């Protein structure tokens, strides 16, 4: 992605509101369209095309496309415009009239040939209203089968700007030039892939602040470290995790919490995870010498729980420990910071509402187990977070963090993280940041950023095949270099 000076991510409704507010403030729609068209024409020129095809729908996205074609024609390029659709927007009509007056070649609902080396896709933008109709689908297929480079205007036609889903079929762009702000559909897969390179063209929009943002280095908050300090200044993390079946996962969690800077990390497992001591002897470790956590273990763990300022539950747990987790949430859920990861997340089914000091960190599969209707849908995720009153960090190719009001997207994910243990490490990192005083949302933003950046930098050297969560934990310092 290049030229990302704007980190707001809009949904289609917000984009329309921004447009309306701008026009109400006195900037004319034609001005915005002309600016959009110049931005498209600039990028188009950089390809030094011999023959350009502008494929326009009959809404304002089509209007932009015709205007870009007219500007390129004026610059001396060989341009043809093909129009598909019936209901013409006012903006479209105006552009069509100007293009005709300027002597451009325009064809309606006709098949185009394969003689172009650049196609500008202005079929549908943020006005897509459902699955792409078959007549337009045929045009999209034609664009995708051409050898020409493809520039999509605003969003590849056929991609939902709200979810990133392919609505029947969609244009595969080499570059997408979006106007004013990013849209959700360009951030989430598969839309992100269909968008190709993303570029934002800054139009004269009235400033519009969205509650959804991509995570960039300027919003990372690394906790301070004082010269005159002791271990209690940096928090006390208690990790209750693992099982006789999965003794390895909690080791990664403990390493994550420790290497992100927590003052004290205590790991208590049912089974034997004592290997942690050979990796990092500074971790306080004990085992309950059983298969799983049980409800009555809470009494035994009382002192450790009281001392902790964050409790991480879940990595390597099996469902036999869920009753224990439910009980712990009942007793401590309103007062302690709690991170629920992996199997322990299932415990939230027992609660109508939680509290904002509870974070759940599911991957998509785990989320679907508690929230069956989950699709690639940010609105649903935000609603769920609000309704359950908990913070969610949904781990995926694009990790999404929300408290129901504000949402943040981490775009640094890579296949080096698609490995068992990555989530275990991340919960430890985030817990370690909460222990050091960051609020939960900022701990998720900063923790995921540092970990994913480390993975990315390591992958450049060692490949995405080779990277393991343990290797990431050992090199976590890389991610601190913002
Ligand atoms: N926002 C801004 O600030 C600015 C916005 N600008 C631009 O305006 C764009 C938004 O324009 P918009 O609202 O006119 O809608 P738009 O994307 O052209 O889509 C409507 C067209 O798509 C068609 N169509 C829809 N669904 C369909 C389907 N399922 N299957 C098939 N066809 C379908 C629909 O056909 P219809 O359903 O009416 O027959 C109609 O032809 C925005 O993305 C940006 O490029 C710039 O000018 C700068 C300022
Ligand atoms: K488009």
Kindly report, residue by residue over 396-412, the tens digit of the pLDDT: 999 999 999 999 999 99
What pLDDT was estimated at residue 376? Answer: 67
Whether residue 207 has its Cβ less than 6 Å from ligand 1 = no
The full 3-state SS of the chain, as one line of letters, equals CCCCCCCEEECHHHHHHHHHHHHHCCCCHHHHHHHHHHHHHHHHHHCCCCEEEEEECCCHHHHHHHHHHHHHHHCCCEEEEEECCCCCCHHHHHHHHHHHHCCCEEEECCCCCCCCCEEEEECCCCCCCCCCCHHHHHHHHHHHHCCCEEEEECCCCCECCCCCCECCCCCCCCEEEEECCEEHHHHCCCHHHHHCEEEEECCCCCCCCCCEEECCHHHCCCCCCCCCCCHHHHCEEEEECCCCCCCCHHHHHHHHHHHCCCCEEEEEECCCCCCHHHHCCCCEEEECCCCCCCCCHHHHCHHHHHHCCEEEECCCCCHHHHHHHHHHHHHHCCCCEEEEEHHHHHHHHHCCCCCCCEEEECEHHHHHHHCCCCCCCHHHHHHHHHHHCCEEEEECCCEEEECCCCEEEECCCCHHHCCCCHHHHHHHHHHHHHHCCCCHHHHHHHHHHHHHHHHHHHHHHHCCCCCCHHHHHHCCHHHHCC
**Into how many domains does the chain fold?**
2
How many A from CA of 157 to the centre of ligand 1? 9
Query: Does some domain include residue 4?
Result: no
| Last residue of one domain, picked from the residues 206, 240, 271 | 206
How many A from CA of 28 to the centre of ligand 1? 18
Q: Tell whether 193 and 254 lie within a shared domain.
A: no
Q: Tell whether 30 and 79 lie within a shared domain.
A: yes
101 labelled binding-site residue? no
Query: Does some domain include residue 83?
Result: yes
Q: Tell whether 188 and 279 lie within a shared domain.
A: no
Query: Does some domain include residue 211?
Result: no
What pLDDT was estimated at residue 218? Answer: 92
Whether residue 126 has its Cβ less than 6 Å from ligand 1 = yes
How many A from CA of 148 to the centre of ligand 2? 16
Per-residue pLDDT, averaged over 347-368, amounts to 95
Which residue puts its alpha carbon closest to atom 39 of ligand 1?
87
Quick one: pLDDT band at residue 2, thresholds 50, 70, 90? very low
397 labelled binding-site residue? yes
How many A from CA of 62 to the centre of ligand 1? 7
Q: Tell whether 232 and 173 lie within a shared domain.
A: no
Q: Tell whether 388 and 428 lie within a shared domain.
A: yes
| Last residue of one domain, picked from the residues 206, 240, 267 | 206
Quick one: pLDDT band at residue 374, thresholds 50, 70, 90? confident
Whether residue 61 has its Cβ less than 6 Å from ligand 1 = yes
What pLDDT was estimated at residue 6? Answer: 59
Phi, psi values for residue 245, rounded to 5°:
-75, -40
Q: Tell whether 420 and 356 lie within a shared domain.
A: yes
How many A from CA of 108 to the centre of ligand 2? 18
Which ligand neighbours the alpha carbon of 31 most closely? 1
Query: Does some domain include residue 18?
Result: yes
Ligand 1 closest atom vs CA 19: 3
Q: Tell whether 202 and 224 lie within a shared domain.
A: no
Ligand 1 closest atom vs CA 131: 29
How many A from CA of 106 to the centre of ligand 2? 18
What pLDDT was estimated at residue 1? Answer: 43
Percent of the chain with pLDDT over 90: 95
Q: What's the pLDDT tens digit per position in 427-467?
A: 999 999 999 999 999 999 999 999 999 999 999 999 999 99
396 labelled binding-site residue? yes
How many A from CA of 162 to the centre of ligand 2? 14
The answer, yes or no, to whether residue 89 has pLDDT greater than 80, is: yes
Which residues are in the CB-under-5-Å shell of ion ligand 2? 121, 125, 152-153, 157
What pLDDT was estimated at residue 409? Answer: 97
Query: Does some domain include residue 128?
Result: yes
Query: Does some domain include residue 200?
Result: yes
Q: Tell whether 469 and 410 lie within a shared domain.
A: yes
The answer, yes or no, to whether residue 16 has pLDDT greater than 50, is: yes
User: Mean pLDDT in the chain?
Assistant: 95
Ligand 1 closest atom vs CA 63: 47
Q: Tell whether 16 and 109 lie within a shared domain.
A: yes
Which ligand neighbours the alpha carbon of 127 most closely? 1
How many A from CA of 92 to the centre of ligand 1? 10
Query: Does some domain include residue 1?
Result: no
Per-residue pLDDT, averaged over 260-283, amounts to 96
Q: Tell whether 309 and 180 lie within a shared domain.
A: no
Q: Tell whether 385 and 452 lie within a shared domain.
A: yes
Ligand 1 closest atom vs CA 122: 45
Query: Does some domain include residue 255?
Result: yes
Which residue puts its alpha carbon closest to atom 16 of ligand 1?
127
What pLDDT was estimated at residue 372? Answer: 80
Domain of residue 232 covers: 217-480
| Last residue of one domain, picked from the residues 206, 231, 259 | 206
Q: Tell whether 326 and 260 lie within a shared domain.
A: yes
Whether residue 32 has its Cβ less than 6 Å from ligand 1 = yes
How many A from CA of 122 to the centre of ligand 1? 9
Ligand 1 closest atom vs CA 205: 3
From 109, 125, 152, 201, mutation site for ligand 1 pocket: most ligand atoms within 8 A of C-beta: 125
Whether residue 89 has its Cβ less than 6 Å from ligand 1 = yes
Quick one: pLDDT band at residue 373, thresholds 50, 70, 90? confident
Q: What's the pLDDT tens digit per position in 272-327?
A: 999 999 999 999 999 999 999 999 999 999 999 999 999 999 999 999 999 999 99
479 labelled binding-site residue? no
What is the CATH classification number for the domain harbouring 63?
Answer: 3.40.50.10260
Per-residue pLDDT, averaged over 332-359, amounts to 96
Percent of the chain with pLDDT over 70: 98
218 labelled binding-site residue? no
Per-residue pLDDT, averaged over 40-49, amounts to 98
235 labelled binding-site residue? no
125 labelled binding-site residue? yes
What is the CATH classification number for the domain harbouring 304?
Answer: 3.40.1190.20
Which ligand neighbours the alpha carbon of 132 most closely? 1
The answer, yes or no, to whether residue 3 has pLDDT greater than 90, is: no
């Amino acid at each position: 992605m290049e030229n990302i000076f704007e980190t707001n991510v809009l949904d289609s409704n917000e984009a329309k509101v921004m447009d309306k507010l701008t026009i109400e403030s006195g900037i004319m729609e034609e001005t915005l369209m002309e600016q959009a068209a110049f931005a498209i024409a600039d990028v188009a020129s950089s390809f030094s095309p011999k023959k350009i095809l502008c494929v326009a729908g009959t809404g304002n996205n089509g209007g932009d496309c015709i205007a870009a074609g007219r500007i390129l024609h004026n610059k001396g390029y060989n341009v043809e415009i093909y129009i598909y659709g019936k209901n013409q927007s006012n903006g479209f009509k105006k552009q069509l009239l100007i293009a005709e007056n300027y002597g451009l070649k325009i064809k309606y609902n006709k098949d185009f040939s394969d003689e172009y080396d650049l196609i500008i896709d202005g079929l549908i933008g943020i006005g897509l209203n459902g699955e792409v109709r078959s007549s337009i689908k045929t045009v999209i297929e034609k664009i995708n089968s051409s050898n020409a480079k493809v520039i999509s205007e605003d969003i590849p036609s056929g991609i939902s700007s709200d979810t990133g889903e392919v609505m029947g079929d969609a244009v595969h762009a080499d570059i997408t030039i979006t106007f004013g702000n990013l849209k959700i559909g360009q951030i989430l897969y598969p839309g992100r892939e269909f968008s190709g390179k993303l570029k934002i063209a800054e139009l004269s929009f009235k400033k519009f602040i969205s509650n959804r943002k991509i995570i960039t280095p300027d919003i990372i908050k690394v906790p301070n470290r004082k010269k005159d300090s002791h271990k209690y200044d940096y928090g006390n993390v208690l990790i209750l995790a693992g099982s006789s079946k999965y003794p390895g996962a909690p080791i990664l969690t403990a390493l994550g919490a420790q290497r992100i800077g927590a003052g004290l990390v205590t790991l208590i497992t049912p089974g034997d995870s004592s290997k942690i001591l050979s990796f990092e002897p500074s971790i306080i470790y004990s085992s309950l010498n059983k298969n799983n956590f049980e409800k009555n273990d809470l009494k035994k763990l009382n002192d450790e729980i009281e001392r902790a300022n964050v409790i991480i539950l879940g990595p390597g747990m099996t469902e036999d420990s869920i009753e224990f987790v439910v009980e712990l949430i009942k007793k401590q859920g309103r007062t302690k910071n709690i991170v629920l990861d992996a199997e322990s997340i299932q415990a939230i089914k027992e609660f109508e509402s939680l509290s904002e000091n509870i974070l759940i960190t599911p991957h998509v599969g785990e989320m679907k187990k508690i929230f069956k209707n989950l699709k690639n849908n940010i609105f649903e995720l935000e609603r769920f977070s609000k309704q359950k009153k908990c913070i969610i960090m949904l781990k995926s190719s694009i990790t999404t963090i929300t408290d129901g009001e504000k949402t943040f997207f981490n775009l640094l994910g890579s296949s080096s993280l698609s490995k068992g243990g990555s989530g275990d490490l991340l919960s430890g990192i985030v817990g370690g940041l909460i222990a050091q005083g960051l609020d939960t949302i900022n701990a998720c933003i900063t923790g995921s950023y540092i970990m994913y950046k480390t993975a990315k930098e390591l992958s450049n050297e060692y490949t995405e095949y080779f990277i393991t969560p343990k290797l990431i934990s050992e090199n976590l310092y890389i991610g601190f270099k913002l």
